[in-house]
Structure 1
């Protein structure tokens, strides 16, 4: 068990964001990854939407933008709080670059890994999940995959996990974080 390294000056960087479309394997990999650190927290961002009891707008709809910004701000605050307490935070969710501002605004150094299996693998995984708990509709899943694929300037953060098991993906993420290769830099 280790702490999370990767800062250019040798500092400990305690926040890892595992992003990607639904069905990319984020939650499974986040659970495996969190087990590798001595003190860790897994923030599953899907849970933060379930805290909204009235007035929830499905987060993949265009009209959910303001709600989604609020939720991401709360997630960033939780991540910052746990990290300040000495925990390595593994945060997983559909967190495209458009949702990173709450983290950068707080000055939270973080590792950013986009799990982006090919669209066929993503659709197969997403549509096989429990529809009562997860987004399984192929239309929004395909749209979200396309949004992650269209992010120019972020290819250095992408891990194609199409042919990898969850354990192999966790190994690859851990190695990238340990080596500092996915430490987020604005405008990279």
Structure 2
């Protein structure tokens, strides 16, 4: 990731996509390539809600999800302002990017990129349903609905990469190369 240190003092990467796209694994690998880095796994933020949580894929969860994404965006740019390359992974569709764009205004010298991993639907669902970690969402219906939300991102479609035929290593290299360019930059509000 090249950029003049005088022009940019922080770096944010929002690695998005549906469950099973490989976001967490790639995000951790991208973060590990830097001397000072943070990997924000957004799934963790929902587990901080002790009572009253609504599964984030339920229609009734919108207000909750807006709050959680606002918290995530704030944490993201606070870390970045502290000199950390901050890699966020989560089901962050364009409909949630306003939180990051707003938070960017508090960190004007922080560069942010938005990349969506979107393997083909069948591949993504198979990966997600094969997960075995405790609490993993493996139910076909909500997984399919979340993939469908990423099926057509309109003006943000150029931020999508199809990783269906790639290994994790290949996807990591591809994301890293994209971060060296300017094609996936997220602009402030």
Question: TM-score, with normalisation over the residues of structure 2?
Answer: 0.91
Confirm or deny: 8 A CA contact 2:101 2:187 kept in the other structure.
no
Q: What is the match of residue 14 of structure 2?
A: 17
Confirm or deny: 8 A CA contact 1:6 1:181 kept in the other structure.
no
Does residue 66 (structure 1) correspond to residue 70 (structure 2)? The answer is no
Q: After TM superposition, list the pairs within 5 Å mapping 1:20-31 onto structure 2.
A: 20-31=17-28
Does residue 160 (structure 1) correspond to residue 162 (structure 2)? The answer is yes
What is the alpha-carbon distance in structure 1 between the residues aligned to residue 30 and residue 37 of structure 2?
Answer: 9
Provide structure 2 residue ranges, at least 5 long, that are not aligned to the other structure: none
Q: What is the match of residue 124 of structure 1?
A: 126
Provide structure 1 residue ranges, at least 5 long, that are not aligned to the other structure: none
1:152/1:176 Cα in 2 relative to 1: closer, same or farther (>3 Å)?
Answer: same
Deviations 1:157-176 (A, max 9, x none): 00111011111111111100
Give the CA RMSD over aligned residues.
Answer: 1.8
What is the alpha-carbon distance in structure 1 between the residues aligned to residue 138 and residue 7 of structure 2?
Answer: 41
Shift of 1:184: 1.4
What is the alpha-carbon distance in structure 2 between the residues aligned to residue 184 and residue 133 of structure 1?
Answer: 31
Q: What is the match of residue 52 of structure 1?
A: 49
Question: TM-score, with normalisation over the residues of structure 1?
Answer: 0.91
Deviations 1:119-154 (A, max 9, x none): 011011000002632211111111111111122111
Does residue 174 (structure 1) correspond to residue 184 (structure 2)? The answer is no
3-state secondary structure, aligned to 2:57: coil
Of 22, 31, 40, the match for 1:43:
40
What is the alpha-carbon distance in structure 2 between the residues aligned to residue 121 and residue 6 of structure 1?
Answer: 35
Shift of 1:46: 0.1
What is the alpha-carbon distance in structure 1 between the residues aligned to residue 7 and residue 74 of structure 2?
Answer: 24
3-state secondary structure, aligned to 2:154: coil
